Amino acid sequence: MADLTLEVARKILDAALAKAGELKLKPLVVTILDARGVLKLAAAQDGTSLMRAEIAHGKAYGALAMGMGSRALFQRAQEQAYFIGAVNTIAKGALVPVPGGVLIMDGATLLGAVGVSGDTSDNDEACALAGIQAAGLKANAG
């Protein structure tokens, strides 16, 4: 698979939301970007709070922009706060360096990223991982 198809993005979305239901999480927003950073698919469950879509997008975008899952960005922000702050300034505030942004890989090929927001960052990440794995792809959370 060279590109992230809408069909695959839907599988990722459905499985991520199914995982959220299984874990009885707060309402989530799931955003899926292709390798270019272009929105492929996004959905908000009923009851999400106001900024969740922007946060989910920022988690996915940050993972793509930096080439690592947002868990790794979170770690880097703790170790090199000035660096992540500077990068986020260059990115016009578009990065959200906390877990929940996961790269979608097909072998060594980057297909895109999933960003999830609405519950704890660890639970958001678990849903992204479940979605990617359900689509038969490899996840890189960092």
Task: Dump pLDDT digits (tens) for 8-56.
Answer: 999 999 999 999 999 999 999 999 999 999 999 999 999 999 999 999 9
Task: Work out the average pLDDT over 108-114.
Answer: 97
Q: Which residues pair with 110 in a beta bridge?
A: 105
3-class state of residue 140 by DSSP: strand
Task: Work out the average pLDDT over 69-84.
Answer: 97
Q: What percent of the chain has pLDDT over 90?
A: 98
Global pTM?
Answer: 0.95
Q: What is the mean pLDDT of the chain?
A: 97
- Tell me the C-alpha to C-alpha distance, in Å, between residue 36 and each of 25, 56, 75, 113: 30, 17, 24, 10
